[in-house]
């Protein structure tokens, strides 16, 4: 039995209170829709693949308190010692970590004479980096030993140094610059032509803010030297990353007491740090949603209780005229459903308005339509749950209430 | 139609037990118009609320239309109130947020009646009480007499077999009271059983039979109704 018309006319006579509750529901609906969308986006972003064997990669960053005269020999000796640790698959010294905090960047040109680079990318250095990170070659090959040069030689400006002239790019770069057919193509790096010898599946860069830059990555055949934020990166055999990390830190120290281990970390910690602010934002938004929903629920309980108290007599009269307890509960549920529906309808418009503001100011995508029914169902349920206690109390007003009290 | 035997109603609070009704016996036949009189606090309203299934009783038996009502559950009692009984209260008890039409509609909706039939019955009932033109008015826009006529229309719309009225003219002036009484008499002539509590001797005198209640018990004055009712009614104000 639907009481809609008389309930609406009753609400019409309590307009101010009804409108306030409708607005509260609308605002909650609008904010919750947008917040859930934002949280969803953060979670998607936090879920982004780094393209490496995350579970087994660990990293150690040393600093040298004293100058090291033979850097090349030292790096080779250290790598040999690290590769010798039981449980180590591969090890290298690299300039940066995927999802790390500091990045080495460059601009790629397709034409030497154009001033503006076609794409900004990050460059990874380090021998056997692909094997060490567990990245995957999609096309072409890894660097040959003869293609490598030492970083300090390259930057020394000595004329006899042969700079690298080959590169490996990610699928993302291949798609962006070469329509997916990058193998054998050339780009200019510092006006040096570089031939692409390999394409790897997407490898995340450090210091990225969205998916449009995350995989803008190239690899160059450069032997990294210690310092400048370089990391020794090791890939452990499955289940041995704890032991490998411990052993690597110890071995670095024992090879040279003047080398201090600044950072030793599992890759999972690197990832956690990278997404820390996103995680905090997602938690905050979830907190705001819960707070809003609780406040709205309390509003519904409060107004429901107030109306039950105010209408005791008419509830008694309705009972006297034949309303069952169920009818009384249904009356309040229907009333709440109508208020919620009005609030939700208004809330959807408001949700889009908020979304447009966010789109304009924070370059957010359009709110997908699916979030609206999610918000609607959430508020309908919330309303029905919240109004149940007052409605039940109303149903226990005895019919004799109609005759007593005057 | 309505038969109570040795009925008792006790109100218990933490400190006292009040016997609102004790060994209360009454038998109202189908189609009768009975006026109930008695001093204030004698148990008239209590009797009416039990008769109308608004309240349960403590002891004895009550048969309504042949049914022993103490066996019925809450929903069954609601259904009987809705279908068989019409209530008229001293305080009118219209729902202030609903207009006249919607007020009269309330019991019909609980009966699950279809809209066209509801509308027909509502307009007929309002026609009878002379308020068809006021269907869109709210109770606050009507005089006391008009409000009570709306309440009567509400009681009538469901064509109840039994009409229970608790001092229906108690809040009205003589002129209006007379109008209400005429309406009740008309309804009675059409076959309804009416039990009316009143302290107005003039109105009591117009009923077929008077029942006098003192201290929660019936003193049957059916032998000489007019005379006695008159006397006792003068002492009763509640
Ligand atoms: N809800 C109640 N709780 C306690 N006592 C009540 C209650 N209702 C009525 N009474 C008592 O029952 C007696 C009969 O009351 P009532 O039926 O209202 O009398 P009347 O209508 O004849 O004035 C009175 O003594 C009254 O105080
Ligand atoms: Mg009374």
Give tens-digit pLDDT for A109-128: 999 889 899 999 999 999 99
Share of chain A above pLDDT 70, in %: 99
Residues A29 and A68 in one domain: no
- The neighbour count for residue B82, using CB atoms within 10 Å, is 25
Give tens-digit pLDDT for B107-136: 999 999 999 999 999 999 999 999 999 999
Residues A362 and A306 in one domain: yes
Give tens-digit pLDDT for A264-311: 999 999 999 999 999 999 999 999 999 999 999 999 999 999 999 999
How many Å apart are CA A333 and CA A385, to the nearest integer? 9
Closest chain B residue to A327, measured at CA = B110
Q: Helix H segments across A194-275?
A: 211-214, 241-255, 267-274
CATH of residue B163: 3.40.50.300
H/E stretch holding A163? none
Tokens in use for B86?
């019409």
Hey, of A8, A324, A403, A405, which one would you mutate to test binding to chain B, going by the most B CBs within 10 A of its CB?
A403
Residues A200 and A146 in one domain: yes
pLDDT value for A190: 85
How many domains are there within chain A? 2
- The neighbour count for residue A7, using CB atoms within 10 Å, is 20
pLDDT average, residue stretch B183-199: 93
pLDDT value for B230: 42
How many Å apart are CA A142 and CA A239, to the nearest integer? 27
Contacts with A5 from chain B: Cβ below 8 Å: 102
Query: Is the distance from CB of A51 to CB of A135 less than 8 angstroms?
Result: yes
At which of A274, A301, A336 does a domain end?
A274
Kindly list the protein residues whose Cβ atom lies closer than 6 A to any atom of ligand 1: B 11, 18, 20, 38, 40-46, 238
Residue nearest to atom 26 of ligand 1 (CA): B41
DSSP B191: T
Closest chain A residue to B111, measured at CA = A322
* Nearest ligand, measured from the Cα of B39: 1
User: Residue A404, SS3?
Assistant: coil
Give tens-digit pLDDT for A310-338: 999 999 999 999 999 999 999 999 999 99
In a domain, B238, yes or no: no
How many domains are there within chain B? 1
Give tens-digit pLDDT for A182-212: 999 999 998 899 999 999 999 999 998 888 8
Of A6, A322, A402, the CB nearest to B78: A322
- The neighbour count for residue B75, using CB atoms within 10 Å, is 12
At which of A241, A274, A307 does a domain end?
A274
pTM, whole model, 2 decimals? 0.84
Residues A160 and A118 in one domain: yes
* Nearest ligand, measured from the Cα of B217: 1
How big is the A-B interface in CB pairs under 8 Å?
89
How many Å apart are CA A287 and CA A221, to the nearest integer? 48
pLDDT value for B227: 46
Query: Is the distance from CB of A32 to CB of A293 less than 8 angstroms?
Result: yes
Contacts with B93 from chain A: Cβ below 8 Å: 313-314, 317, 320, 402
At which of A250, A274, A298 does a domain end?
A274
Does residue B97 sit at the A interface (CB-CB below 8 Å)? yes
User: Residue B229, SS3?
Assistant: helix
In a domain, B154, yes or no: yes
Instruction: Judge: B74–A3 Cβ closer than 8 Å, yes or no.
Output: no
Closest chain A residue to B50, measured at CA = A400
Question: How distant is the alpha carbon of residue A332 from its chain centre?
Answer: 42
CB proximity under 8 Å: A 285-324 to B: 313-314, 317-324
pLDDT average, residue stretch B153-165: 94
Domain that holds residue A307: 4-47+277-403
Give tens-digit pLDDT for A160-170: 999 999 999 99
Q: Residue B228 — pLDDT band, cuts 50, 70, 90?
A: very low
Does residue B135 sit at the A interface (CB-CB below 8 Å)? no
Region for residue A180 given its phi and psi (left: phi exceeds 0; alpha: psi -120 to 50; beta: otherwise)? left
Residues A239 and A137 in one domain: yes
Residues A269 and A281 in one domain: no
Q: Residue A66 — pLDDT band, cuts 50, 70, 90?
A: confident
Domain that holds residue B27: 2-233
Residues A246 and A298 in one domain: no
Residues A295 and A360 in one domain: yes
Query: In 3D, which of A200, A406, A338 has the Cα closest to residue B166?
Result: A406
């Amino acid at each position: 039995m639907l009481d809609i018309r008389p309930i609406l006319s009753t609400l019409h006579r309590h307009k101010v209170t009804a409108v306030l509750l409708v607005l509260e529901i609308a605002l909650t609906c609008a904010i919750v829709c947008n917040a859930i969308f934002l949280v969803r986006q953060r979670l998607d972003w936090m879920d982004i693949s780094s393209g490496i064997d995350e579970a087994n990669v660990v990293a150690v960053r040393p600093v040298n308190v004293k100058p090291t005269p033979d850097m090349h020999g030292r790096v080779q000796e250290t790598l040999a010692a690290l590769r010798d640790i039981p449980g180590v698959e591969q090890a290298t010294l690299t300039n940066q970590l995927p999802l790390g905090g500091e990045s080495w960047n460059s601009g790629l040109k397709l034409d030497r004479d154009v001033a503006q680079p076609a794409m900004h990318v990050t460059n990874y250095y380090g021998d056997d980096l692909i094997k060490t990170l567990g990245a995957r070659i999609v096309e072409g090959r890894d660097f040959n030993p003869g293609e490598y040069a030492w970083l300090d030689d390259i930057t020394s400006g000595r004329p006899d140094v042969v700079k690298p002239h080959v590169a490996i790019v990610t699928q993302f770069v291949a798609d962006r610059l070469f329509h997916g057919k990058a193998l054998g193509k050339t780009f200019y790096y510092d006006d040096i032509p570089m031939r692409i010898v390999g394409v790897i599946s997407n490898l995340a860069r450090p210091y990225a803010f969205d998916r449009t830059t995350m995989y803008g990555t190239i690899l160059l055949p450069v032997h990294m030297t210690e310092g400048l934020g370089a990391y020794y990166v090791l890939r452990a055999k499955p289940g041995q990353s704890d032991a490998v990390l411990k052993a690597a830190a110890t071995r670095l120290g024992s090879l040279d007491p003047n080398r201090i281990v600044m950072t030793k970390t599992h890759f999972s910690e690197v990832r956690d740090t990278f997404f820390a602010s996103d995680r905090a934002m997602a938690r905050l938004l979830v907190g705001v949603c819960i707070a809003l929903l609780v406040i709205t629920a309390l509003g519904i309980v409060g107004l429901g209780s107030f109306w039950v108290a105010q209408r005791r007599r008419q509830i008694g009269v309705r009972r006297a005229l034949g309303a069952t307890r169920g009818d009384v509960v249904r009356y309040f549920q229907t009333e709440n459903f109508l208020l919620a529906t009005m609030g939700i309808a208004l809330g959807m418009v408001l949700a889009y308005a908020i979304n447009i503001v966010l789109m304009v100011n924070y370059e957010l995508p359009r709110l997908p339509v699916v979030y609206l029914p999610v918000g609607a169902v959430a508020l309908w349920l919330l309303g029905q749950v919240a109004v149940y206690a007052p409605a039940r109390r109303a149903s226990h007003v005895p019919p004799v209430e109609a005759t007593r009290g005057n | 139609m309505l038969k109570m035997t040795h009925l008792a109603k006790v109100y218990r609070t933490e400190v006292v037990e009040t016997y609102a009704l004790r060994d209360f016996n009454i038998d109202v036949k189908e189609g009768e118009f009975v006026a109930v009189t008695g001093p204030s606090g004698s148990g008239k309203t209590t009797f009416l609320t039990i008769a109308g299934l608004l309240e349960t009783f403590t002891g004895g038996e009550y048969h309504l239309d042949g049914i022993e009502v103490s066996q019925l559950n809450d929903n069954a009692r609601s259904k009987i109130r809705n279908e068989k009984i019409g209530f008229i209260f001293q305080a009118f008890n219209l729902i202030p947020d609903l207009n006249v039409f919607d007020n009269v509609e309330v019991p019909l909706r609980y009966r699950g009646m279809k809209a066209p039939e509801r509308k027909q019955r509502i307009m007929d009932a309002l026609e009878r009480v002379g308020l068809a033109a006021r269907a869109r008015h709210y109770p606050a826009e009507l005089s006391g007499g008009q409000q009570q006529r709306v309440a009567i229309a509400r009681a009538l719309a469901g064509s109840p077999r039994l009409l229970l009225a608790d001092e229906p003219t108690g809040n009205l002036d003589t002129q209006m009271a007379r109008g209400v009484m005429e309406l009740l008499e008309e309804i009675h002539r059409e076959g309804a059983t009416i039990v009316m509590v009143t302290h107005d001797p003039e109105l009591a005198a117009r009923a077929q039979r008077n029942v006098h209640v003192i201290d929660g018990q019936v003193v049957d004055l059916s032998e000489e109704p007019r005379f006695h009712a008159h006397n006792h009614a003068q002492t009763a104000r509640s």
